[in-house]
Chains A and B, each alone.
Chain A
Protein backbone atom coordinates (compact mmCIF):
# COMPACT_ATOMS: atom_id res chain seq x y z
CA UNK A 1 0.00 0.00 0.00
CA UNK A 2 2.80 2.31 0.93
CA UNK A 3 4.65 1.77 -2.35
CA UNK A 4 1.55 2.63 -4.36
CA UNK A 5 1.34 5.90 -2.50
CA UNK A 6 4.99 6.67 -3.27
CA UNK A 7 4.42 5.97 -6.96
CA UNK A 8 1.38 8.24 -6.98
CA UNK A 9 3.25 11.06 -5.34
CA UNK A 10 6.11 10.58 -7.80
CA UNK A 11 3.61 10.93 -10.64
CA UNK A 12 2.25 14.09 -9.12
CA UNK A 13 5.76 15.47 -8.80
CA UNK A 14 6.50 14.56 -12.41
CA UNK A 15 3.33 16.30 -13.60
CA UNK A 16 4.29 19.42 -11.67
CA UNK A 17 7.77 19.43 -13.18
CA UNK A 18 6.26 18.94 -16.65
CA UNK A 19 3.82 21.78 -16.14
CA UNK A 20 6.65 23.92 -14.86
CA UNK A 21 8.73 23.19 -17.94
CA UNK A 22 5.84 24.03 -20.24
CA UNK A 23 5.29 27.27 -18.37
CA UNK A 24 8.98 28.06 -18.55
CA UNK A 25 9.15 27.31 -22.25
CA UNK A 26 6.16 29.48 -22.92
CA UNK A 27 7.22 32.45 -20.92
CA UNK A 28 10.93 32.47 -20.38
CA UNK A 29 12.56 30.87 -23.39
CA UNK A 30 13.91 34.20 -24.61
CA UNK A 31 15.38 35.23 -21.29
CA UNK A 32 18.97 36.43 -21.64
CA UNK A 33 21.09 34.29 -19.37
CA UNK A 34 24.20 36.26 -20.21
CA UNK A 35 25.69 33.43 -22.22
CA UNK A 36 28.19 34.64 -24.75
CA UNK A 37 31.27 33.09 -26.29
CA UNK A 38 33.31 34.96 -28.84
CA UNK A 39 33.65 38.53 -29.92
CA UNK A 40 36.21 40.97 -31.26
CA UNK A 41 39.94 40.46 -30.83
CA UNK A 42 43.18 41.82 -32.21
CA UNK A 43 46.03 39.40 -32.83
CA UNK A 44 48.84 38.82 -35.35
CA UNK A 45 48.83 36.14 -38.04
CA UNK A 46 51.80 34.02 -39.13
CA UNK A 47 52.74 36.59 -41.78
CA UNK A 48 53.06 39.25 -39.12
CA UNK A 49 49.85 41.02 -40.17
CA UNK A 50 47.23 42.33 -37.77
CA UNK A 51 44.35 39.88 -37.62
CA UNK A 52 40.94 40.67 -36.13
CA UNK A 53 37.52 39.06 -35.97
CA UNK A 54 36.69 40.98 -39.18
CA UNK A 55 39.20 38.77 -41.04
CA UNK A 56 37.05 35.75 -40.19
CA UNK A 57 33.71 37.18 -41.25
CA UNK A 58 31.87 35.55 -44.11
CA UNK A 59 32.90 32.03 -43.23
CA UNK A 60 32.05 29.88 -40.22
CA UNK A 61 35.08 29.13 -38.12
CA UNK A 62 36.58 26.55 -35.82
CA UNK A 63 38.90 27.92 -33.18
CA UNK A 64 41.10 26.31 -30.57
CA UNK A 65 43.77 27.39 -28.18
CA UNK A 66 47.08 25.79 -27.25
CA UNK A 67 50.82 26.30 -27.16
CA UNK A 68 53.49 24.93 -29.45
CA UNK A 69 55.68 23.54 -26.66
CA UNK A 70 52.85 21.23 -25.66
CA UNK A 71 54.01 17.68 -26.43
CA UNK A 72 50.79 15.75 -26.10
CA UNK A 73 47.42 17.36 -26.68
CA UNK A 74 48.15 20.16 -29.15
CA UNK A 75 49.84 18.13 -31.91
CA UNK A 76 47.03 15.58 -31.60
CA UNK A 77 44.33 18.22 -32.00
CA UNK A 78 46.14 19.86 -34.92
CA UNK A 79 46.57 16.51 -36.60
CA UNK A 80 42.87 15.72 -36.07
CA UNK A 81 41.92 19.08 -37.57
CA UNK A 82 44.22 18.37 -40.52
CA UNK A 83 42.47 15.03 -41.02
CA UNK A 84 39.02 16.64 -40.92
CA UNK A 85 40.06 19.26 -43.46
CA UNK A 86 41.41 16.54 -45.73
CA UNK A 87 38.12 14.63 -45.40
CA UNK A 88 36.12 17.78 -46.14
CA UNK A 89 38.22 18.36 -49.26
CA UNK A 90 37.29 21.59 -51.07
CA UNK A 91 34.38 22.05 -48.63
CA UNK A 92 37.08 22.76 -46.09
CA UNK A 93 37.74 26.02 -47.96
CA UNK A 94 34.35 27.24 -46.73
CA UNK A 95 35.66 27.14 -43.20
CA UNK A 96 38.27 29.10 -41.26
CA UNK A 97 40.31 27.02 -38.87
CA UNK A 98 42.17 29.04 -36.28
CA UNK A 99 44.86 27.95 -33.83
CA UNK A 100 45.62 30.52 -31.15
CA UNK A 101 48.96 30.26 -29.37
CA UNK A 102 48.57 31.27 -25.74
CA UNK A 103 52.32 31.29 -25.09
CA UNK A 104 53.16 34.96 -25.73
CA UNK A 105 56.88 34.30 -25.18
CA UNK A 106 57.43 31.43 -27.61
CA UNK A 107 54.43 31.31 -29.95
CA UNK A 108 55.66 34.13 -32.16
CA UNK A 109 54.34 34.55 -35.74
CA UNK A 110 57.57 33.10 -37.19
CA UNK A 111 57.53 30.16 -34.80
CA UNK A 112 53.85 29.44 -35.43
CA UNK A 113 54.50 29.57 -39.18
CA UNK A 114 57.20 26.90 -38.85
CA UNK A 115 55.13 24.80 -36.47
CA UNK A 116 51.96 24.91 -38.57
CA UNK A 117 53.84 24.03 -41.76
CA UNK A 118 53.46 20.39 -40.68
CA UNK A 119 49.65 20.63 -40.76
CA UNK A 120 46.94 21.60 -43.27
CA UNK A 121 48.06 24.89 -44.80
CA UNK A 122 44.54 26.32 -44.59
CA UNK A 123 44.94 26.70 -40.86
CA UNK A 124 45.39 30.18 -39.48
CA UNK A 125 47.85 30.66 -36.61
CA UNK A 126 47.44 33.62 -34.29
CA UNK A 127 49.96 35.14 -31.92
CA UNK A 128 49.50 37.97 -29.50
CA UNK A 129 51.00 39.96 -26.71
CA UNK A 130 50.30 38.81 -23.20
CA UNK A 131 47.48 41.33 -22.99
CA UNK A 132 45.98 40.57 -26.42
CA UNK A 133 45.87 36.90 -25.56
CA UNK A 134 44.31 37.60 -22.17
CA UNK A 135 41.60 39.75 -23.76
CA UNK A 136 40.84 37.21 -26.42
CA UNK A 137 40.73 34.36 -23.92
CA UNK A 138 38.29 36.33 -21.82
CA UNK A 139 35.92 36.92 -24.76
CA UNK A 140 36.14 33.30 -25.85
CA UNK A 141 35.78 31.97 -22.30
CA UNK A 142 39.11 30.20 -22.53
CA UNK A 143 40.96 29.22 -19.42
CA UNK A 144 44.73 29.18 -19.58
CA UNK A 145 47.38 29.44 -16.97
CA UNK A 146 51.12 29.82 -17.26
CA UNK A 147 53.26 27.84 -14.85
CA UNK A 148 56.94 27.18 -14.38
CA UNK A 149 57.97 23.80 -13.00
CA UNK A 150 61.05 22.80 -11.01
CA UNK A 151 63.11 22.46 -14.20
CA UNK A 152 62.20 26.01 -15.29
CA UNK A 153 60.00 24.65 -18.08
CA UNK A 154 57.22 27.04 -18.97
CA UNK A 155 53.98 25.13 -19.32
CA UNK A 156 50.38 26.10 -19.88
CA UNK A 157 47.18 24.56 -18.64
CA UNK A 158 44.54 25.39 -21.21
CA UNK A 159 41.01 24.69 -22.38
CA UNK A 160 41.25 21.94 -24.93
CA UNK A 161 37.92 22.10 -26.77
CA UNK A 162 37.50 23.27 -30.35
CA UNK A 163 34.93 26.08 -30.53
CA UNK A 164 32.67 26.33 -33.56
CA UNK A 165 31.21 29.64 -34.73
CA UNK A 166 28.72 30.62 -37.44
CA UNK A 167 29.76 32.97 -40.23
CA UNK A 168 28.27 35.91 -38.31
CA UNK A 169 30.41 35.12 -35.27
CA UNK A 170 27.67 33.47 -33.21
CA UNK A 171 28.85 30.57 -31.10
CA UNK A 172 27.37 27.28 -32.29
CA UNK A 173 28.92 24.32 -30.47
CA UNK A 174 32.14 22.66 -29.45
CA UNK A 175 34.14 19.60 -30.36
CA UNK A 176 35.37 18.23 -27.06
CA UNK A 177 38.84 16.84 -26.53
CA UNK A 178 38.70 13.17 -27.44
CA UNK A 179 35.33 13.43 -29.19
CA UNK A 180 34.43 10.67 -31.65
CA UNK A 181 36.01 11.68 -35.01
CA UNK A 182 32.81 10.91 -36.94
CA UNK A 183 30.74 13.15 -34.68
CA UNK A 184 33.37 15.87 -34.96
CA UNK A 185 33.34 15.69 -38.76
CA UNK A 186 29.52 15.81 -38.75
CA UNK A 187 29.62 18.96 -36.64
CA UNK A 188 31.99 20.61 -39.09
CA UNK A 189 29.79 19.61 -42.03
CA UNK A 190 26.74 21.05 -40.26
CA UNK A 191 28.67 24.24 -39.63
CA UNK A 192 29.54 24.63 -43.32
CA UNK A 193 25.98 23.97 -44.58
Chain B
Protein backbone atom coordinates (compact mmCIF):
# COMPACT_ATOMS: atom_id res chain seq x y z
CA UNK B 1 0.00 0.00 0.00
CA UNK B 2 2.79 2.33 0.93
CA UNK B 3 4.67 1.48 -2.25
CA UNK B 4 1.56 2.17 -4.29
CA UNK B 5 1.13 5.52 -2.58
CA UNK B 6 4.69 6.58 -3.16
CA UNK B 7 4.58 5.44 -6.78
CA UNK B 8 1.46 7.52 -7.25
CA UNK B 9 3.15 10.44 -5.59
CA UNK B 10 6.12 10.01 -7.90
CA UNK B 11 3.92 10.36 -10.94
CA UNK B 12 1.97 13.25 -9.51
CA UNK B 13 5.10 15.18 -8.69
CA UNK B 14 7.02 16.11 -11.77
CA UNK B 15 10.33 17.81 -11.85
CA UNK B 16 10.51 20.21 -14.76
CA UNK B 17 13.23 22.53 -15.89
CA UNK B 18 12.68 26.21 -16.48
CA UNK B 19 14.42 28.42 -19.00
CA UNK B 20 17.44 29.12 -16.82
CA UNK B 21 17.98 25.42 -16.28
CA UNK B 22 17.06 25.49 -12.60
CA UNK B 23 14.95 22.59 -11.50
CA UNK B 24 11.42 23.50 -10.54
CA UNK B 25 9.45 20.89 -8.67
CA UNK B 26 5.71 20.97 -9.23
CA UNK B 27 3.03 19.27 -7.26
CA UNK B 28 -0.64 18.94 -8.02
CA UNK B 29 -1.62 17.67 -4.58
CA UNK B 30 -2.79 20.59 -2.42
CA UNK B 31 -0.59 21.04 0.63
CA UNK B 32 2.12 18.55 -0.35
CA UNK B 33 5.34 18.82 -2.34
CA UNK B 34 8.62 17.00 -2.69
CA UNK B 35 11.83 18.62 -3.90
CA UNK B 36 14.71 16.21 -3.66
CA UNK B 37 15.34 15.66 0.04
CA UNK B 38 12.87 18.32 1.06
CA UNK B 39 9.33 17.20 1.85
CA UNK B 40 6.66 19.80 2.43
CA UNK B 41 3.31 18.80 3.90
CA UNK B 42 0.25 20.35 5.47
CA UNK B 43 0.70 23.63 3.61
CA UNK B 44 -2.18 26.10 3.81
CA UNK B 45 -2.94 29.78 3.93
CA UNK B 46 -6.00 31.68 5.01
CA UNK B 47 -8.20 34.50 3.89
CA UNK B 48 -7.30 37.83 5.49
CA UNK B 49 -9.87 40.05 7.19
CA UNK B 50 -11.27 42.82 4.98
CA UNK B 51 -9.24 45.98 4.52
CA UNK B 52 -5.91 44.34 5.23
CA UNK B 53 -3.15 43.71 2.69
CA UNK B 54 -1.15 41.24 4.78
CA UNK B 55 -1.61 37.54 5.32
CA UNK B 56 0.13 34.39 6.49
CA UNK B 57 0.81 30.90 5.16
CA UNK B 58 1.83 27.77 7.03
CA UNK B 59 3.37 24.34 6.38
CA UNK B 60 5.69 21.66 7.70
CA UNK B 61 9.07 21.17 6.05
CA UNK B 62 11.15 18.06 6.58
CA UNK B 63 14.73 17.65 5.43
CA UNK B 64 15.41 13.98 4.69
CA UNK B 65 18.86 14.66 3.33
CA UNK B 66 22.32 14.18 4.77
CA UNK B 67 23.09 17.86 4.64
CA UNK B 68 21.30 20.82 6.07
CA UNK B 69 19.27 22.96 3.66
CA UNK B 70 17.86 26.44 3.84
CA UNK B 71 14.54 27.97 2.88
CA UNK B 72 15.74 31.15 1.22
CA UNK B 73 12.59 32.84 -0.04
CA UNK B 74 9.03 32.41 -1.17
CA UNK B 75 6.67 34.18 -3.50
CA UNK B 76 3.06 34.20 -4.54
CA UNK B 77 1.43 35.95 -7.50
CA UNK B 78 -1.08 38.10 -5.63
CA UNK B 79 1.42 39.75 -3.27
CA UNK B 80 4.39 42.09 -3.57
CA UNK B 81 6.48 40.11 -1.17
CA UNK B 82 6.60 37.01 0.97
CA UNK B 83 8.92 36.86 3.97
CA UNK B 84 9.85 34.18 6.47
CA UNK B 85 8.73 35.34 9.89
CA UNK B 86 8.92 34.09 13.42
CA UNK B 87 6.26 34.94 15.93
CA UNK B 88 7.76 34.98 19.37
CA UNK B 89 5.92 34.95 22.67
CA UNK B 90 7.77 36.34 25.65
CA UNK B 91 6.07 37.10 28.95
CA UNK B 92 2.70 37.17 27.22
CA UNK B 93 3.90 39.66 24.62
CA UNK B 94 3.70 38.71 20.97
CA UNK B 95 6.36 40.01 18.68
CA UNK B 96 7.15 39.25 15.10
CA UNK B 97 10.47 39.35 13.34
CA UNK B 98 11.84 38.43 9.96
CA UNK B 99 14.16 35.44 9.75
CA UNK B 100 17.20 36.95 8.06
CA UNK B 101 19.29 35.00 5.52
CA UNK B 102 16.75 32.21 5.24
CA UNK B 103 15.63 29.51 7.62
CA UNK B 104 17.93 26.56 8.18
CA UNK B 105 16.39 23.11 8.10
CA UNK B 106 18.96 20.75 9.52
CA UNK B 107 19.48 17.25 8.20
CA UNK B 108 16.81 14.88 9.49
CA UNK B 109 14.76 17.57 11.17
CA UNK B 110 11.49 19.32 10.46
CA UNK B 111 10.37 22.91 10.88
CA UNK B 112 6.73 23.61 11.63
CA UNK B 113 5.07 26.79 10.43
CA UNK B 114 1.84 27.38 12.35
CA UNK B 115 -0.19 30.23 13.85
CA UNK B 116 1.74 31.83 16.70
CA UNK B 117 5.06 30.53 15.41
CA UNK B 118 6.84 30.51 12.05
CA UNK B 119 4.79 31.80 9.14
CA UNK B 120 5.26 32.96 5.62
CA UNK B 121 4.32 36.60 5.88
CA UNK B 122 2.48 37.74 2.78
CA UNK B 123 2.81 41.48 2.20
CA UNK B 124 1.24 43.95 -0.18
CA UNK B 125 -1.62 41.76 -1.38
CA UNK B 126 -3.49 43.26 -4.28
CA UNK B 127 -6.44 40.92 -4.18
CA UNK B 128 -6.08 38.32 -1.46
CA UNK B 129 -7.45 34.79 -1.92
CA UNK B 130 -10.84 33.71 -0.57
CA UNK B 131 -11.62 30.71 1.61
CA UNK B 132 -11.99 27.65 -0.61
CA UNK B 133 -9.48 28.87 -3.20
CA UNK B 134 -6.26 27.02 -3.93
CA UNK B 135 -3.18 29.14 -4.53
CA UNK B 136 0.39 28.39 -5.60
CA UNK B 137 3.39 29.48 -3.59
CA UNK B 138 6.90 29.09 -4.93
CA UNK B 139 9.51 28.19 -2.34
CA UNK B 140 13.21 28.55 -2.95
CA UNK B 141 15.60 26.23 -1.13
CA UNK B 142 19.35 26.65 -1.19
CA UNK B 143 20.03 23.03 -2.19
CA UNK B 144 16.67 21.54 -3.17
CA UNK B 145 15.93 24.41 -5.53
CA UNK B 146 12.54 25.78 -6.49
CA UNK B 147 9.30 24.12 -5.58
CA UNK B 148 5.76 25.11 -6.46
CA UNK B 149 3.30 24.15 -3.80
CA UNK B 150 -0.49 24.33 -3.86
CA UNK B 151 -2.05 25.73 -0.72
CA UNK B 152 -5.74 25.51 0.16
CA UNK B 153 -7.15 28.75 1.54
CA UNK B 154 -8.85 28.45 4.94
CA UNK B 155 -11.38 30.96 6.34
CA UNK B 156 -10.36 34.17 8.14
CA UNK B 157 -8.55 33.52 11.41
CA UNK B 158 -8.63 29.71 11.00
CA UNK B 159 -6.09 27.80 13.06
CA UNK B 160 -5.64 25.05 10.52
CA UNK B 161 -6.60 23.99 7.00
CA UNK B 162 -9.56 21.94 8.26
CA UNK B 163 -11.36 24.79 9.98
Q: Which residues of A contact B (CB under 8 A)?
A: 68-73, 75-80, 82, 111, 114-119, 143, 145, 149-151, 153, 155, 157-161, 176-178
Q: Cβ of B18 < 8 Å from any Cβ of A?
A: no
A-B contact count (CB 8 A): 96
Residue contact B54 to A69, C-beta cutoff 8 Å: yes
Residue contact A158 to B93, C-beta cutoff 8 Å: yes
B92-107 toward A: CB 8 Å interface, digit per residue (1/0)? 1111111000000000
Residue contact B96 to A82, C-beta cutoff 8 Å: no
Which of A71, A158, A161 interacts with B122 by CB under 8 Å? A71
Interchain residue pairs A-B with the least CB separation, the first 10: A79-B157, A157-B95, A114-B51, A75-B157, A160-B94, A71-B56, A71-B54, A118-B49, A76-B115, A118-B156
* Given A71-B119, A76-B159, A160-B89; A118-B94 close (CB under 8 Å): no
With A and B bound together, what is the CA distance between A75 and B54 in angstroms?
11
Residue contact A178 to B116, C-beta cutoff 8 Å: yes
Residue contact A72 to B87, C-beta cutoff 8 Å: yes
* Given A72-B56, A78-B157, A161-B92; A153-B49 close (CB under 8 Å): no
A72-B85, A76-B157 given; name 16 further pairs at CB < 8 Å. A68-B52, A72-B115, A78-B49, A79-B158, A80-B157, A114-B51, A115-B49, A115-B51, A119-B49, A151-B81, A155-B96, A159-B94, A160-B89, A160-B92, A160-B93, A177-B94
Contact size range, B: 20 to 34
Residue contact B157 to A119, C-beta cutoff 8 Å: yes
Residue contact B98 to A149, C-beta cutoff 8 Å: yes
B45-73 toward A: CB 8 Å interface, digit per residue (1/0)? 01011111111100000000000000000
Closest CB in chain B relative to A147 CB, distance in Å:
8
Q: Cβ of B121 < 8 Å from any Cβ of A?
A: yes
* Given A115-B52, A118-B50, A159-B93; A76-B116 close (CB under 8 Å): yes
Residue contact A69 to B52, C-beta cutoff 8 Å: yes
Contacts of B87 in A (CB 8 A): 72-73
Q: Cβ of B143 < 8 Å from any Cβ of A?
A: no
